[in-house]
Chains A and B, each alone.
Chain A
Amino acid sequence: MTAYDVALELDCRELPCPMPVIELARHLGDVEVGELLAVVARDPAAAVDVPAWCRMKEQDFVGADAADDGVARYVVRRLG
């Protein structure tokens, strides 16, 4: 179940690595600083690569939950 109230959710369920992270980068500017942005992805690499992206790009990895259909969802807070 979703645990976070996000401003924008990206559906990357069917996208292979590294597309979920690319989509995250493309849409970071679509939320305000301080807001949450989520990416929903089946790609197993996303579980590692979303937190790693946050560290490299100085954003805040908030955590992971699940979308309504049970697919993993990774939540990021825009810091800048």
Chain B
Amino acid sequence: MTAPPARSADLDSASSAPLHPAAREVLLAALDRGYADPRRLHRAGREARLLLDNAREATADALGVRPDEVTFTPSGTHAVHLGLLGLLRGSRRGSRVVDSPVEHSAVRHAVAWGADGGTEVRVDRSGRVDAAGLVEGARSADVALVALQTANHEVGTLQPVDGLQLPDDVPLFTDACASMGRLPLPDGWAAAAGSAHKWGGPAGVGVLLVRKRARWRNPFPGDDRVDERSTGFENVPAVLAAAASLQAVVAERDEVGTRQHGLVDVVRRRVAAEVPDVEVVGDPDRRLPHLVTFSCLYVDGEALVTELDRRGFGIASGSACTASTLTPSHVLEAMGVLTHGNVRLSLQRDATRAEVDAFCDALRGVVAEIRSRVGL
């Protein structure tokens, strides 16, 4: 038996990152200061309003957008739904969506729910969408919008959001949940979405960005809040903590991103060299800094997750046997890469070389052990 590592390593930051230290203090202070209704004119209400406005300005500043383009939502998923469906409702053209087959399920569900059908453009083996195909698809008169993620949440490949030459009246929705904070936002979108728990903010905070000149109409019932695009009572402490975390993440991303990118290079190289019959997928260079995905032939994904967890490594998997639906990841399927024995590893901000080396050391034995169960 291999000895467990000194501390267990959560290598699944893409599912959720722990609260950033900068957010923790802000959250604790704001719990006392920001409880009131920010629409009220009394002292406590004004205090909450001040914190909410601060959060909006800090978020806008960190993302390089205007404060009035920022809306806080109760989740990243809700931000995706509002952003995509709002552009759909605002369209003067049609009600179909052109997107990639590797979008997050939040985008796919929104399209299935609200659009009058859609066209999925092919991706290559690395998961990158055919940009010319997206533009060509967008020319059809019944297309309301194009949806394209900034980066893929499962394999890390960056998408060519910048510079898509779409028709003037076809807006772009970009799901930026996988990259927000870690990488600068691309240009060219009319609406975008992010999710705070993926950058070390609290859960329950999404960010919807709608460009000043975008034709966006609320697709859901409205409300009478501070921000006309949002509904429900604002979670001011959580929103402020999310903004503080985002600022901190943006301030440290050159150092953290460079270190993570190098550590992922180590994982990509070591896994490919040391594990037989493995496929490391996603673009090796033009990718998220912190994330790598690979698949091991003849290995049951659930067993892989369980055995790595026993050795102290928490990883995600896109294999069918680990999904509630028992279907393989639609991302891996669209790329045409092996779906079983799949591992998605995503580093936390404090990841070290020792941690990734310990993971690679353990992986080889785990894969060999699971294969030996079936005599391979």
A, B from the same assembly = yes
B277 contacts A by Cβ under 8 Å:
yes
Instruction: Give Cα A44 to B319, complex, Å.
Output: 11
Query: Which of B277, B297, B320 lies in contact with A44, CB distance below 8 A?
Result: B320
Q: Do the beta carbons of A52 and B327 come within 8 Å of each other? A: no
Checking B297, B301, B338 against A48 with a beta-carbon cut-off of 8 angstroms, the contacting residue is B338
Stretch at the interface among A4-12, A17-25, A30-38: A17-25
A7 CB → nearest B CB, Å: 22
- Decide: B297 and A17 in contact? CB cutoff 8 A: no
Residue of B nearest to A50 (CB): B338
B319: contacting residue among A17, A22, A56, CB under 8 A: A17
- Contact A25–B319 (Cβ < 8 Å): no
User: Which of B279, B297, B340 meets A45, CB within 8 Å?
Assistant: B340
Please measure, in the bound complex, the distance between the C-alpha atom of A45 and the C-alpha atom of B338, giving whole angstroms.
9
Question: 1/0 contact trace for B322-356 toward A, CB 8 Å?
Answer: 00001110001100111111000000000000000
The reply to whether B321 and A48 contact each other, CB–CB distance below 8 Å, is no
Q: Is the CB of B332 within 8 A of A48?
A: yes
B339 touches A48 (CB 8 A): yes
Which residues from chain B contact A22 at a C-beta distance below 8 Å?
A: 298, 374, 376
Closest CB of chain A to B124's CB: distance in Å?
A: 14
> How would you classify the secondary structure of chain A's contact residues: helix, strand, loop or mixed?
helix
Task: Report the interface size for chain B: residues with CB under 8 A from the other chain.
Answer: 25
Q: Is B155 an interface residue (CB 8 A)?
A: no
Residues of A within 8 A of B321 (CB): 16-17
Flag if A53 contacts B338 (CB, 8 Å): yes
B299 at the binding interface (Cβ < 8 Å): yes
Is B300 in the interface zone, CB < 8 Å from A? yes
Beta-carbon contact of B374 and A52 below 8 Å: no
Say yes or no for A60: interface residue by CB 8 A criterion.
no
Q: Nearest CB to that of A43 among chain B residues?
A: B320
A21 to B339, alpha carbons, bound, how many Å? 11
28 contacts between A and B (CB under 8 A): A16-B321, A17-B319, A18-B297, A18-B299, A18-B300, A19-B374, A22-B298, A22-B374, A25-B298, A25-B376, A26-B375, A26-B376, A43-B320, A44-B328, A45-B320, A45-B327, A45-B328, A45-B339, A45-B340, A48-B328, A48-B338, A49-B328, A49-B339, A49-B340, A51-B336, A56-B279, A56-B338, A57-B277
Partner-B contacts on A (CB < 8 A): 16-19, 21-22, 25-26, 43-45, 47-49, 51-53, 56-57
Given contacts A17-B301, A17-B340, A44-B320, 9 further A-B contacts (CB under 8 A): A17-B319, A17-B328, A18-B297, A21-B297, A44-B328, A48-B328, A48-B332, A49-B339, A56-B297
